[in-house]
Amino acid sequence: MNNKNINTIVFDFGGVLGPRSNTWDTTHKNISELTGIPPEKLSELSKNFWPILETGKASITDFWEKVIEMSDREVDMDELEQIYESNFKADNGSLSLAKELKRMGFQVVILSNASKEWMEFKKDKFKLEEVFDKIYSSADLGMMKPDHTIYQYVLRDLKIHPSEAVFIDDHDQNLEVAKAEGMTIVKFTNAKEVREKIMNLLKSDQ
């Protein structure tokens, strides 16, 4: 067994650093009110679009154009973008944890299933590049979690052994693959609990 010390913490975004990108309770409600499209129809559209958005095979413009096509009202794409952007919040506790770990000398990284455009929006809105050493988006890489290849790519790119990384995610399937690749895993519940788990792991790693 390799006993290298942990030096890298890998965060998911949706459901960890911010809300899950495909659970838009308020966003769907607001878009439904604007467009007249029932929320369940918007949810179905999102579910169908997500795999191609998150692997870079479609753009957010394609998605909004489909929403406009489904609407029985005159809708402006900028209005749709504003609804999404205004409803998108970060988890301040998780961001604070990432900043704390960086101050402690750890490499902090994001590995997220996300479209190109929305990852760029998140980077700008939350100044992610000021906190994280690397940000990996599934759309930029053309592969997504829980495919083994995306974890392998990140580990190679960071030039670290799997035992040197802790991976934080809220989806069991994503965590299981990371564990199979040799990474230490922490399931996200809330920022306070995850901080305690991470600090305990780091103490035992010394």
- What local confidence, expressed as pLDDT, does residue 1 receive? 36
Q: What is the CATH number of the domain that holds 196?
A: 3.40.50.1000
Do 131 and 196 belong to one domain?
yes
Please report the pLDDT score of residue 2 as a whole number: 43
Domain of 56, CATH number, reads: 1.10.150
Handedness of CA 36, 40, 45, 51 (dihedral sign): positive
Asked if residue 1 belongs to a domain, the reply is no
Residue 109 lies in a domain: yes
Q: Comparing C-alpha atoms, which of 44, 15, 46 is closest to residue 115?
A: 46
- Report pLDDT digits (tens) over 95-122: 999 999 999 999 999 999 999 998 999 9
Residues 64 and 131 placed together within one structural domain of the fold: no
pLDDT tens for each residue of 117-126 = 989 999 999 9
- Highest mean pLDDT among 27-41, 46-60, 79-93, 158-172 belongs to 158-172
Whether residue 153 sits in one domain with residue 74: no
Better pLDDT: 134 or 72: 134
Q: Number of folded domains in the chain?
A: 2
3 in a structural domain:
no
pLDDT digit string, tens, across residues 134-180: 999 999 999 999 999 999 999 999 999 999 999 999 999 999 999 99
Query: Same structural domain for residues 53 and 125?
Result: no
Separation between Cα atoms, residue 114 and residue 86, nearest integer Å:
18
% of the chain with per-residue pLDDT over 90: 80
Residues linked to residue 166 through DSSP beta bridges, in sequence order = 9, 184
89 or 55, greater pLDDT:
55
* pLDDT, mean over the chain: 92
Does residue 189 share a domain with residue 126? yes
How many C-beta atoms lie closer than 10 Å to residue 34's C-beta? 17
Distance CA(3)–CA(130), nearest Å, equals 31
Residues 59 and 137 in one domain: no
Report the pLDDT value the prediction gives residue 20, as an integer from 0 to 100: 67
Can you give the pLDDT at residue 24? Answer: 61
Q: Which of 87, 110, 141 is the last residue of a domain?
A: 87
User: What integer pLDDT is reported at residue 39 of this predicted model?
Assistant: 86
Q: Which residue has the tokens 């920022």?
A: 191
**Is the pLDDT at 3 greater than 50, yes or no?**
no
**Which range of residues forms the domain containing residue 168?**
8-19+90-205
Do 50 and 113 lie in one domain? The reply is: no
Task: State how far the Cα of 117 lies from the Cα of 56, in Å rounded to an integer.
Answer: 10
Longest dimension (CA), the chain: 61
Residue 177 domain-assigned?
Answer: yes
Domain stops at, among 87, 106, 128: 87
Tokens of 112: 């997220």
- Does 2 fall in a domain? no
Do residues 132 and 199 share a domain?
A: yes
pLDDT band at 88, cuts 50/70/90?
confident
Does the pLDDT of residue 32 top 90, yes or no?
Answer: yes
Tell the burial category of 101 from Cβ atoms under 10 Å away from its Cβ (0-12, 13-18, 19+).
buried
Q: Is the pLDDT of residue 50 over 70?
A: yes
Q: Could you tell me the two tokens for 23?
A: 């659970």
Q: Name the H helices within 2-76.
A: 25-35, 39-54, 60-70
